Structure 1
Amino acid sequence: MCGLPGYTPYELIDIVFDNGIVTVIEPQVLDRPRRFSKNELIVIILGLRILSEIHSASNINTDKIEKLITKISALVPTYTSKVSTNINSEFMSDLNRAINHSLKLEIEYTSVSKDETTRRNLLPIELYMLNGSLYLRAIDLDISAERVFRTDLIRINKVGEITNVQINSEQSEKLQISLEVSKSRRIFMERNSSIIQTVKETKNGFKVEVSVSNLQWLKRCILSNSPGIKVIAPAELALEIKQNANAILALYRS
């Protein structure tokens, strides 16, 4: 079930999602579609433009998408000129070619949290949208583990061949962590939306469920944002980070 807040039979829509196909079971509430705000329309246009870029690079007909973009853009003509996906066709063509033919990508990736650019060798797996951003799921060949990259932070240097890739299953295994994030550290959620599963607002901030494969990175991130981010579960991780924080503070006192 999905729909608007309120969750009465008038707001809810009964749907089934199977193999990438959404089927509406009881569509009568769709006879009177709701009016979108300007911000919602701009988000829809942005998503459609990204879809158009992805599919055009794959030689898929995008006429219907373009017609829908034109139709929606007419509703907010003042704002659509400012909407940009920061994605070009050549970039998407290289990504799709690498994904479809299992080709290695040599890239430069800018880390927002570390404020640095590093060179990576990747075997791309898939593209997906999450929280308004387009992400690339790939195997980082330098560490033989799966990682996620924001596409607007990627610069492709070279597309090449690749064979015999083995994944480090220990590093690629996803771990579920519960965090308490203060309102002052909300930027953590914005910068790392690819790992966030759920967010629930609380009296003091947010309860955030994350799924990570790189636990060492998460530990460093929590310590660098302390006391704005705390581990709720698992208890073993919370204790380990507390001990590490105390050890760091002891170095300052010595």
Structure 2
Amino acid sequence: MVPYFQANPGISAAEAASELGVTTKQLMTDLNQLWMCGLPGYGPGDLIDLSFSEESIEVTFSAGIDRPLRLTATEATALLVALRSIADLPGMVDPSAAHSAIAKIESAISGREFTGPVVPAPVEAPAVSTVRSALERDHALRLVYYSASRDVVSERVVDPIRIVLVDNNSYLQAWCRQAEGVRLFRLDRIEEATELDEPARPPAEAAADETSALDLFVDGPAVPLARLLIRADYGWVLEQYPMHKVTTHPDGGIEATMRFATLDWMARLLLGFGSGVTVLGPPELVTAVRDRSGAALSAYSALAADAGSAAVFPLNGLEEVGPA
């Protein structure tokens, strides 16, 4: 845009919009955003400066952008990879806009206009489209949300703040009126979203704090704490789950702690580690894991008895031998 307006000083917004293939409203929005671009440091003397209205547009400081950008093959490839990655994440960008940009960059790289079949942009989930609309219009939302940590579906009203990327998943960061705090809602777990006809009103300090609630697992004292003994060859679980190492034993075993929301969910998780992780506490979690292990072993024993053969079934450090 900068080289274009330098080559056409004083052009009207309507004429420029027509030549650039956008609406006048979109052009004025882009010009307002252009004010925030410039050189590293981004102080008043580094930012692009321009004078514009619907009657006349003129660049007064170009920050060195005096000719159209030319990407190297490496730069264009990196940009395409980044665009495709973002386009595949729910809610991060408008998928139609992202795929349009991808097509234009690919055409620029090849040096000719693409004439093959057009691959349609992926259809965005209705709930995700509603979330993006509410953010753009600054409206509150009613969500039906599945919480994986508690294995429950709940309904709540939230005040959207922004969409963020955490651990390669996109989340809505919002003020939850029910919890009276900032929460993250993973976009692919929002089952329904309804945009309300009322303005979003998150507390000013919550909206201003961009890092608020970005820790997916808050180590709050009100949340139950599991004490675990992790076998040396299972140390990888510390990198995959929100655990805190307490001490390391001479044999390489690791004692660690982990907060959990519901007993049932935590017991299922621990059973999946087999004998690699032993539960040390709390007592109710030890009981839950033991009961589930016993029920599973009984089911296997019944199957072995029906088959009339002996079998050994290890499960979470336990062994049971089926009848001969």
Shorter chain as denominator, the TM-score bin is 0.3 to 0.5
Which one has the largest radius of gyration? 2
Greater length-normalized contact order (CA 8 Å, ≥ 6 residues apart): 1
**Normalising to structure 2: TM-score of the pair?**
0.38
Higher strand share: 1
**Normalising to structure 1: TM-score of the pair?**
0.46
